[in-house]
Amino acid sequence: MRPTRRNRGALRAPDRRTSPAALLALPLILFAVAAAAPVEDFDAPAPEWCDGPVRYILPQEDKVAYRKLETTEERARFIRRFWAAHDPDRTTTDNEYRSLFMRRLDEAQRLFAESIKPGWKTDRGKIWILLGPPDETDEQASRPRDPSAPLRTPDTPLRPDVISWIYRNPTPGTGGAVNVLVRFLLDVSGEYHLSTSARLFASDAAMSQAFALQAMQLKAIPGPEPAGTTEAPGAPAVPPGFRTHTDVFASGKDRALAILTLFIPDAFFHSDDGGAPPRLEVTARLASETPGGPAYDLTGAASLRTAAGPLGRSADGAHIYQGGLAVRPGDYKVRYALVGPGAETLRAFDDTLAAPLPAAGRLTVGPISFAQRLERLAEAAASEYVPPFVLGGMRVVPRSGALFSPEEELAFYYQVSGAMNDPIGGVPDLEVEYVVLLETQGVAGITTQPLGHPIHLTREPSLIQAFSLPLAGWASGRYRLQVHVTDNLNGNVAASEIAFQVR
C-alpha cells in the first residue's frame, strides 16, 4: 500500500476489526446501549467534571478549587462562571469559546473511538480538540504481516501503522513551527499514540492558549462591525500616565504576529478598600481601518496578561500587561478597555497599529525595539510567542521609551526577514554588526561620530535577534544604534537604526 495524502476535513472514522459473528450481534448491542445509555452531559455538576474533557483547558488552580466544592449547587455555579470568564465576546449570546470546545469534543467522540477509550481521551482526540483539524494528513503503509497473526478477511481492511497530521500555520503560542508534523503510531491494542519523539508544545498551557486564540478569532473574518461594537466618534486617545508599545513580526504565510504591551500607571490601581488593587481584565479590540476588513479581540482567556513580581513592573512602577495574536496585514485601530469586577469598564481609549509584511525575497531588518529586560531561556518555550513576555527562546519585557540612565543596560531586539535557509542545516547564516554613533551639535548642525568599535556577531542562525550592553561611563547625550545584517548564503545586506538618549 502506498502512502496516501488527504486535505483538511477528509479524515474518516477509524476502521474497526469486526468478525462476522460480531456483525450479526451488532444491531442488538447498539439497541441495548442506546436504550440504557443517554447522551453524556460533559457539563453536569458532578465531582468528576474537572477530570473530564474540560481538563484540557482547565488551569491547575481551578481543578484544586473545584475539588473542594461540596454541593451540586456550588459546582454548577463554578461551571457557569468558568465558561463565562472565557467568553471572548460578552456582547453576544453565543460563547464562542465553549461552542468551539463542545463542537470539537463531539467530533473527537465520533472520529477517534479506539479500543475501550472514548474519543476525547485518545491522543488524536486531545490534539483535535485543542488545535482543530489538520491542514493535511498522511498515512503510511502497514508493516508486513506477522506470520503468527490471524489471517485477515476481506471485510477487515488494514489500518495504517502511522498517521501524520500537518499544521501549516499553527496559532502563535502553540510551540509548533510552521509546517509542524504531528505523528501517531498504531500499537497492538489498536489505538494510535502520539509519537514519543514528538516535541510539539512547551506545555499543555501553551496548547490551551492556542485553543483560546482560535476561539477568539472565530469572529475575525471580513464583514460588517459586529453588533454592539459601534464606537462613538471622538474616542479618547491614550490618557496621561498610560503608555503603549506594539511589536509586529512576520509569522507564516500572509500573517503578522502583533504583540500589544500596555503600561498602566500605579496610581490607577489605588483603591479605598484597604489599598488592595482591584481585579482587572485588560482587553483589546483590533478593527481594520479598511471598510469591511477583519476585526480581532483579545478578551476572556486571550486578554492581556501581566507577570507577578518585578517582571510585570516597569522602572517607574507601572504595571505591564501584554497579549498577542496573528492578524492579516494592514492598519488597525486598537481599542483598549480596562474591565473591573462585574464587567464594569473602568477606562477605555484608542490607539493605532500598523501591521505590514516585509517584501517577499528581500532581506529586511527591524524595526528595532528597546527592552527593559532580556533573558535567554534555557530552552525555547515556543517557536514564536507565549504571553506575557516570552518570545521564542527569550524572555523580553519591552521598554516604553528611549531614555536611559548610565546605570542601565542598552537592551534591544528585532526580527530579520527574507533570509535564506541553509539547505543542509535548515537555518539562516547571518553576519550581524552593531554600530553606536554619538550625535554632536555644532555650527554646521548635527554630526555623528562612532563610539568605540563596531560589535560583530558571526554565523547567527536566528531570525529574532537581541543584544544588550552596559551604559556605565557613557556621557549624557543623544545616540544612534545601527544594525547591519549580511546574509552569508546569498550576500544580501540590510540595515536599520534607532535613536536613544542617555542622561
List of residues 6+ apart from 356 with CB closer than 8 A:
248, 256, 329
Q: Average pLDDT in the 155-181 region?
A: 68
pLDDT value of position 67: 93
Strand partners, 192: 186
pLDDT band at 134 (very low <50, low <70, confident <90, very high): confident
Q: In which residue are the cell numbers 491547575 written?
A: 60
pLDDT digits (tens, 9 = 90+) for 30-48: 333 333 334 578 999 999 9
Q: Average pLDDT in the 454-482 region?
A: 94
Kindly state whether residues 352 and 380 are assigned to the same domain: no
Kindly state whether residues 10 and 134 are assigned to the same domain: yes
CA neighbor of 170 nearest in space, from 385, 421, 391:
385
pLDDT value of position 381: 46
Q: Is residue 63 part of a domain?
A: no
Kindly state whether residues 332 and 283 are assigned to the same domain: yes
Q: Going edge to edge, which strands form the sheet with 243-250?
A: 243-250, 256-264, 319-327
Kindly state whether residues 415 and 482 are assigned to the same domain: yes
pLDDT digits (tens, 9 = 90+) for 305-356: 999 889 999 988 899 999 998 888 999 999 999 988 766 788 899 999 999 9
Q: Is residue 58 part of a domain?
A: no
pLDDT value of position 171: 62
Kindly state whether residues 308 and 423 are assigned to the same domain: no
Kindly state whether residues 338 and 369 are assigned to the same domain: no
Q: Is residue 46 part of a domain?
A: no
pLDDT at 86 over 90: no
pLDDT above 90 covers what percent of the chain? 42
pLDDT digits (tens, 9 = 90+) for 6-38: 554 444 444 434 444 433 343 333 333 333 334
Domains identified in the chain, total number: 3
pLDDT at 232 over 60: no
CATH number for the domain spanning 293: value is: 2.60.40.10
Q: Is residue 425 part of a domain?
A: yes
Q: Which of 328, 357, 386 is the last residue of a domain?
A: 357
pLDDT value of position 341: 72
Kindly state whether residues 329 and 207 are assigned to the same domain: no
Q: Which of 357, 392, 415 is the last residue of a domain?
A: 357
Grid cell, residue 157, equals 481492511
Kindly state whether residues 168 and 316 are assigned to the same domain: no
Q: How high does pLDDT run on average in the chain?
A: 80
Q: Is residue 49 part of a domain?
A: no
Kindly state whether residues 396 and 452 are assigned to the same domain: yes
pLDDT value of position 12: 42
Q: Average pLDDT in the 481-493 region?
A: 96
pLDDT value of position 468: 96
pLDDT digits (tens, 9 = 90+) for 351-403: 999 999 888 889 999 999 999 999 988 765 445 788 899 887 889 999 989 99
Q: What separation in angstroms does the CA of 104 have from each of 98, 101, 209?
A: 10, 5, 16
Contact between 397 and 373 under an 8 Å Cβ cutoff? The reply is yes
List of residues 6+ apart from 327 with CB closer than 8 A:
220, 255, 256, 257, 258, 286, 294, 296, 355
Say whether pTM exceeds 0.85.
no
pLDDT band at 278 (very low <50, low <70, confident <90, very high): low
Q: Looking at 120-129, 158-167, 366-375, 388-397, which range is the least confident one?
A: 158-167
- Can you state the angle between helices 96-111 and 123-131, rounded to 10 degrees? 150
Most confident range (mean pLDDT) of 58-62, 160-164, 368-372 is 368-372
CATH number for the domain spanning 490: value is: 2.60.40.2550
Kindly state whether residues 97 and 204 are assigned to the same domain: yes
Kindly state whether residues 377 and 499 are assigned to the same domain: yes
pLDDT at 230 over 60: no
pLDDT band at 88 (very low <50, low <70, confident <90, very high): confident
Q: Is residue 44 part of a domain?
A: no
pLDDT band at 157 (very low <50, low <70, confident <90, very high): low
Contact between 175 and 38 under an 8 Å Cβ cutoff? The reply is no
Q: Is residue 289 part of a domain?
A: yes
Round the CA-based radius of gyration of the chain to a whole number and report it: 27
Residue span of the structural domain in which 110 resides: 4-38+86-145+155-215
More confident residue, 503 or 202: 503
Q: Which of 316, 340, 357 is the last residue of a domain?
A: 357
Kindly state whether residues 420 and 316 are assigned to the same domain: no
More confident residue, 335 or 272: 335
Q: Is residue 431 part of a domain?
A: yes
Most confident range (mean pLDDT) of 155-159, 181-185, 221-225, 373-377 is 373-377
